[in-house]
Amino acid sequence: MSHLDRKLLRDLRGLKSQALAVALVMACGLAMMITTRSLMLSLESTRDAYYEQHRFAEVFARLKRAPLAVRDQLAAIPGVAAVQTGISMQVTLDVPGLAEPAVGLLNSLPERGTPVLNRPYVRAGRLPAGRTAVSELAVSEAFADVHGLKPGATLAAILNGTKQTFRLSGIVLSPEFVFEAPPGSALPDNRTYGVFWMPYRELATAFQLYGAFNSVSISLAPGASEGEVVAAVDRVLAPYGGRGAYGRDNHPSNRRVDDEIRVLQGLSVAFPLVFLSVAAFMTNAVMSRQIALQREQIAMLKACGFSNRQVGFHYFKFSLVIVVAGVVFGIAAGVFLGRQLVDMYHLFFRFPELGFVLDTRVLVAAVIVSSLAAFVGVAGAVRRAVRLPPAEAMRPEAPASFRPALVERLGGARWFSPSFRMALRNIERRPIRSGLTCLALAMATGILIVPNSFRDGVAYVIDFQWDIVQRQTVTLTLVEPGPARALADFKHLPGVVHAEPFRYVPVEFRSGPVLRRLAVQGLPERGTLSRVIDASTVQISLPARGIVMSAKLAEILRIRPGDEVTVRVLEGREREVRVPIAALAEDFAGMAAYMELGALNRLMLDGDRISGAHVVVAKGRWPEFLDAVKNTPRIAGCVIKDAIREGFRKTTAESIGLLQKMYAMFATIVAFGIIYNSARISLSERARELATLRVLGFSRGEVGAVLVGELVVLTVAALPLGLVLGSGFAKGILAGVNTETVRLPLVLTPSNYAFAILVVATASALSALFAARKLAEINLVSALKALD
Amino acid sequence: MADPLASLPARPGPAVPVREPVFHVRGLARRYGEGEAAVTALAGVDLDLYAGELIVLLGASGSGKSTLLNQLGGLDSPSEGVLEYRGANLAAFGEAELTVFRRDAVGFVFQAYNLIPSLTARENVALITEICRAPMVPEEALALVGLADRMNHFPAQLSGGEQQRVAIARAIAKRPEVLLCDEPTGALDVRTGITVLEAVERINRELGTLAVIITHNAVMADMADRIFTLSDGRIVNVRANTRRAAARELKW
């Protein structure tokens, strides 16, 4: 080790707490970058390998029914590599231990061999065998986990009106259901919705579909155009009640995984950027001070023949040591948090194995980015140091020139004590430094706002979605859309106090080149249960003409109220109509479109029909009601609002809660780091001046007031700015993670602001206390002699 | 100005031929600032300095002696005039060449010592020996200034005189051709000051190093071969001692 490096190490020992503060801030930024980037890589690589090994299809279609021979027509479409046909039916389940009925999506498995596409992965047990004494089913892992189902367990399902008992042969996963949510729902509901597999013969026979299929998956030949294949498939399936083919982009499970990756991408840039800028600023502050203190040493080194490059590199190495420490801490924390978050993803995404994959490219990037941050931070200070001619640097710095502070010049002098005046003049003398310190303190405040705005956003979504929008107890769905008089049957179920009908119609929206498929919900004009709400939480009356859609959907389709959108109906008689946009609705999960029920039925040209009803059930008659629902074969689904709300709280809220805690911790570290460093630097710069005051007879308290006064002024100025900055950060980051499946509203509460202020104020107070303690240690005599 | 040494017989000893000066300076001027605010620190200095000489520059504060020393040491560049080191034009040196010049040819001793507080005496010397061509080992340099037994002490553990002797050891460890000392005893008491001057004298005598000492203490002139007195940026007086006093004979 060279002696210059030895000097470096010993100097660093004196700077260790400040260097540590900078390294920690840097580590926070890097940890977030490493965590989010590695999670992206983990999800992407796991997804790609899973899709490939289990042959996830690329084009999907549902239809009413088609004879198996149609399969060959599909296979003959140019660009089609493989075709997997099967049956997929939604049924009502009676799960042991679950009071309400659950919904099962039954998928057929080919009678012989493994499926060509969408091959299931067997986690436990085996795939169901055909022709057994008790029919067998394989169950999806998410559903099995929630209900503690093991191979060998039994459960009952109503198939085409007949209740049948099944034995579970095994627990499986499928690339088609990485994210397992009921159709049209953006949130998983593994309690009342599960996916199952059973042999084709059994399933087809139960629904009188033997020799036919109602679902198709297709893989494409290399270079084939998805759009052309989709169009060709639609043409082939049109006579058989085809509901429109779609590619992976519109596949609900795949889209949800993509959205998550997009969220991570947003987080991986925005947050680390803020943290690393703060770290760069702190490096600059620490190194500027260090270089100022070593002015004479620099001059000596240069006089003795060290080149500018050697001297510059020496000081740059200071920040490199900080970078190394930051990178080491950052990687350790990033890997640790990444592993925690991967476990959290099991709540949403089911892969055969989702391990944490450390993104090594991001490590390299982390080193480069943080070195760059440190370099930017230190470059200016080093340049100033080496530029100084050695002869000049040898002399102590000229005393700084002061003048009365602005407020004093404006006539405010008489209100201030001399020590407060010193603080003000000191701030004004170095406007850039003071400004930057103020900005850093503001950033510390602002960073604290973001994670808590996530938390408040989630709380708002919960209240909004389930108190303002949805006021029913239960949503009941019919097996197939039925006549409007079915509503009377719902009303007659035991305990039902009120019922409102709804209809779901799958459609494709098209505006210019943008396509989106989802269900239009037909609702009463001004319903009291499932309500359509606008951005100012006022209920929208559904017009007799036109459509109301999520603001997000309108944004994606690039249309505004008053514009028309092309709607292709994907159920019943297929047709295309142009419908005007009447208004935009506010919602946070998924995207939706609403029409007045009568208007929707007029569009469908198939009379007054409903898909189900939202109902309110009297509390006392709950068991009776559930029992009746379970034994009504026409009811395919029963979604209990409170169960969904609870599920959301457990999954989404928990995962966002974990992120929120992590970010709040990081933000607190940064806030403390910035303030502590500012206090240390300020103390170091003014040790001599403060010692002089002590010698002149100021008490320790009075001298402390000079030092603390400056910090107080800067902190007080920084707080409001910090709140504004933080609100901006929160807005920007939320916009970055705003996707089609999940959105969080920007909710800024007084308690969020209060928390940020409290943390920064506490950090300032502790730093001030620390500085005051250091003040006691200043050796009065040596402080006065030091710079002779 | 005539070179007063020209008429004197050459002193024996130095390896370099006497007639070739180490520094050749003519009309050297240095101004700081521009226009009305311009300050003239040196206003036309002529001198030749030879190997093995011990030179004292006398002058009041602000007379230009430190500026002259900085010019000789390559810490600053002249505004005009001739400044040659062994026939090479120092005034035309760029930053990189000046760095090499300072590294290999010049040893500096500062009034404020300028030791690195985080390095021990030996390490302070070693810091410099690491970067030059044919240095002494640090221990040897410290022995020359009589600090062999204190070399593992940090600057804060050394007295002022000891610190200044470490600074001299640091300056001479590179075997410089020129030793430039800016008020080396300015912060020291008489007795300590003399031990420091003895160290300079010894280096000058034993290694044949050209030593230039800045002082406002006229007593130190007795130990010099030649004394230049500066005032207002000019050399106003030059005299030569026929006999150099030993440092320990000095009193002030």
The verdict on A650 and A716 lying in the same domain is yes
The verdict on A70 and A146 lying in the same domain is yes
The verdict on A105 and A225 lying in the same domain is yes
Contact (CB<8Å) B114/A6: no
Residue range B172-190, pLDDT digits in tens: 898 899 999 988 887 778 8
Contact (CB<8Å) B114/A296: yes
Per-residue confidence band for A387, with pLDDT thresholds at 50, 70 and 90: confident
| B99–A contact, CB cutoff 8 A | yes
Per-residue confidence band for A174, with pLDDT thresholds at 50, 70 and 90: very high
pLDDT of residue A778: 67
- Tell me if A647 sits within 8 A of A188, measured CB to CB: yes
Per-residue confidence band for B2, with pLDDT thresholds at 50, 70 and 90: very low
Phi-psi domain of A160 (left: phi exceeds 0; alpha: psi -120 through 50; beta: other): left
B52-59 mean pLDDT: 93
Asked, for residue A627, whether it belongs to a domain, the answer is: no
What is the distance between the alpha carbons of residues A26 and A31, in angstroms, rounded to a whole number? 8
Residue range A43-60, pLDDT digits in tens: 999 999 999 999 999 999
Asked, for residue A490, whether it belongs to a domain, the answer is: no
Asked, for residue A410, whether it belongs to a domain, the answer is: no
The verdict on A536 and A606 lying in the same domain is yes
| A785–B contact, CB cutoff 8 A | no
Residue of A nearest to B112 (CA): A788
- Tell me if A61 sits within 8 A of A248, measured CB to CB: no
Contact (CB<8Å) B118/A10: yes
Start-to-end CA span in chain B (Å): 31
Q: Which range (A183-187, A363-367, A497-501, B114-118) has the least confidence?
A: A183-187
Q: Which range (A355-359, A365-369, A563-567, B202-206) has the least confidence?
A: A365-369
Asked, for residue A483, whether it belongs to a domain, the answer is: no
CA-closest candidate to residue A782, choices A687, A662, A671: A687
Statement: residue A750 has pLDDT above 80? yes
Q: Which of residues 117-156 of B touch A (CB under 8 A)?
A: 118-119, 123-124, 126-128, 130-132
How many Cβ atoms from other residues are within 10 Å of residue A96's Cβ? Answer: 11
pLDDT of residue A254: 92
| Site from B101, B106, B116 to mutate, A interface, most A CB atoms within 10 angstroms | B116
Helix (H) or strand (E) holding A17: helix A16-53
CB pairs under 8 A between A and B: 79
Contact (CB<8Å) B106/A307: no
pLDDT of residue A782: 55
Statement: residue B144 has pLDDT above 60? yes
Q: Which range (A22-36, B4-18, B20-34) has the least confidence?
A: B4-18
Contact (CB<8Å) B108/A3: no
The verdict on A460 and A315 lying in the same domain is no
Longest distance between any two alpha carbons in chain B, whole Å: 54
| B108–A contact, CB cutoff 8 A | yes
Last residue of a domain, one of A345, A378, A398: A398
Residue range A678-732, pLDDT digits in tens: 778 877 777 777 777 676 666 777 777 777 788 888 888 999 999 999 999 889 8
| B160–A contact, CB cutoff 8 A | no
What is the distance between the alpha carbons of residues A19 and A51, in angstroms, rounded to a whole number? 46
H-only helix segments in A464-542: 486-491
What is the distance between the alpha carbons of residues B151 and B175, in angstroms, rounded to a whole number? 19
- Tell me if B45 sits within 8 A of B226, measured CB to CB: no
Chain A nearest-CA distance from B167, in A, is: 10
Chain B nearest-CA distance from A288, in A, is: 18
Residue range A586-618, pLDDT digits in tens: 888 778 899 999 999 998 888 899 999 999 999
The listed range with the strongest mean pLDDT (A122-126, A404-408, A624-628, B92-96) is A122-126
Asked, for residue A626, whether it belongs to a domain, the answer is: no
Q: Amino acid letter at B35?
A: G
Chain B nearest-CA distance from A411, in A, is: 34
Q: Taking CB atoms and an 8 Å cutoff, what residues of chain B touch A297?
A: 114, 116
Q: Amino acid letter at A747?
A: V
Statement: residue A220 has pLDDT above 60? yes
Q: Taking CB atoms and an 8 Å cutoff, what residues of chain B touch A388?
A: none
Helix (H) or strand (E) holding A474: strand A474-483
Chain A nearest-CA distance from B248, in A, is: 27
Domain B4-249 maps to which CATH number in 3.30.230.10, 3.40.50.300, 1.20.1630.10, 3.40.50.2300? 3.40.50.300
| A296–B contact, CB cutoff 8 A | yes
Residue range A470-509, pLDDT digits in tens: 899 898 988 788 898 889 999 999 999 999 999 998 888 9
The verdict on A13 and A51 lying in the same domain is yes
Asked, for residue A488, whether it belongs to a domain, the answer is: no
Per-residue confidence band for A120, with pLDDT thresholds at 50, 70 and 90: very high
A181-197 mean pLDDT: 81
Statement: residue A765 has pLDDT above 80? yes
Statement: residue A544 has pLDDT above 70? yes
Spell out the domain ranges in chain B. 4-249
Structure-token pair, residue A239: 């006579």
The verdict on A175 and A39 lying in the same domain is no
pLDDT of residue A123: 94
CA-closest candidate to residue A660, choices A453, A459, A446: A453
Q: Taking CB atoms and an 8 Å cutoff, what residues of chain A touch B100?
A: 305
Residue range B25-40, pLDDT digits in tens: 999 999 887 777 788 8
Statement: residue A415 has pLDDT above 70? no
The minimal CB distance from A389 to the residues B76, B104, B106 is found for: B76
Statement: residue B14 has pLDDT above 60? no
CA-closest candidate to residue A295, choices B116, B111, B71, B131: B116
A280-289 mean pLDDT: 80
Asked, for residue A334, whether it belongs to a domain, the answer is: yes
Q: Which of residues 180-199 of B touch A (CB under 8 A)?
A: 187
Q: Which residues share a beta bridge with B89?
A: B84
Contact (CB<8Å) A305/B102: yes
The minimal CB distance from B128 to the residues A14, A304, A389 is found for: A304
The verdict on A304 and A333 lying in the same domain is yes
Last residue of a domain, one of A346, A381, A398: A398
Higher pLDDT, A42 or A244: A42
pLDDT of residue A403: 63
Q: Which of residues 373-392 of A touch B (CB under 8 A)?
A: 389-391
The verdict on A228 and A266 lying in the same domain is no
A747-767 mean pLDDT: 88
Statement: residue A532 has pLDDT above 60? yes
B236-249 mean pLDDT: 90
The minimal CB distance from B95 to the residues A7, A308, A788 is found for: A308
Statement: residue A645 has pLDDT above 80? yes
pLDDT of residue A744: 81
The verdict on A677 and A769 lying in the same domain is yes
The minimal CB distance from B104 to the residues A7, A297, A305 is found for: A305
| A69–B contact, CB cutoff 8 A | no
Q: Taking CB atoms and an 8 Å cutoff, what residues of chain A touch B171?
A: 304
| Site from A1, A4, A296, A300 to mutate, B interface, most B CB atoms within 10 angstroms | A300
Question: What does B35-92 look like in DSSP terms, one character per residue?
Answer: GGG-EEEEEEEEEEE-TT-EEEEEE-TTSSHHHHHHHHTTSS--SEEEEEETTEEGGG
| A399–B contact, CB cutoff 8 A | no
Contact (CB<8Å) B106/A305: yes
A759-776 mean pLDDT: 79
SS3 A11: helix
What is the distance between the alpha carbons of residues A636 and A571, in angstroms, rounded to a whole number? 18
- Tell me if B120 sits within 8 A of B88, measured CB to CB: no
Residue A331's domain comprises: 1-58+253-398
- How buried is A375 (Cβ within 10 angstroms: 0-12 exposed, 13-18 middle, 19+ buried)? middle
The listed range with the strongest mean pLDDT (A163-172, A369-378, A472-481, A646-655) is A163-172
Contact (CB<8Å) B128/A307: no
SS3 A680: helix
Contact (CB<8Å) B108/A303: yes
Residue of B nearest to A391 (CA): B75
pLDDT of residue A787: 41
The minimal CB distance from B130 to the residues A3, A14, A308 is found for: A3
Higher pLDDT, B51 or A159: B51
Q: Taking CB atoms and an 8 Å cutoff, what residues of chain B touch A387?
A: none
Chain B nearest-CA distance from A13, in A, is: 10
| Site from B68, B103, B127 to mutate, A interface, most A CB atoms within 10 angstroms | B127
Q: Taking CB atoms and an 8 Å cutoff, what residues of chain B touch A7?
A: 116, 118-119, 123, 127
Residue of B nearest to A393 (CA): B75
| B95–A contact, CB cutoff 8 A | yes
pLDDT of residue A547: 94
The verdict on A241 and A259 lying in the same domain is no
Residue of B nearest to A9 (CA): B118
| Site from B68, B119, B188 to mutate, A interface, most A CB atoms within 10 angstroms | B119
Q: What percentage of chain A has pLDDT greater than the value 70? A: 93
Asked, for residue A636, whether it belongs to a domain, the answer is: no
- Its ipTM equals 0.74
Residue of B nearest to A8 (CA): B118
What is the distance between the alpha carbons of residues A240 and A515, in angstroms, rounded to a whole number? 23
Contact (CB<8Å) B187/A2: no
Q: Which range (A316-330, A425-439, A557-571, A688-702) has the least confidence?
A: A688-702
The verdict on A92 and A225 lying in the same domain is yes
Per-residue confidence band for A582, with pLDDT thresholds at 50, 70 and 90: very high
Q: Which range (A137-141, A308-312, A403-407, A601-605) has the least confidence?
A: A403-407
pLDDT of residue A395: 60
Q: What percentage of chain B has pLDDT greater than the value 90? A: 35
A230-241 mean pLDDT: 91
| A394–B contact, CB cutoff 8 A | yes
Q: Taking CB atoms and an 8 Å cutoff, what residues of chain A touch B114?
A: 296-297, 299-300, 394
Residue of B nearest to A13 (CA): B118
- Cα separations in angstroms, B188 against A296, B162, B163, B170, B192: 19, 10, 10, 18, 6
pLDDT of residue B98: 85
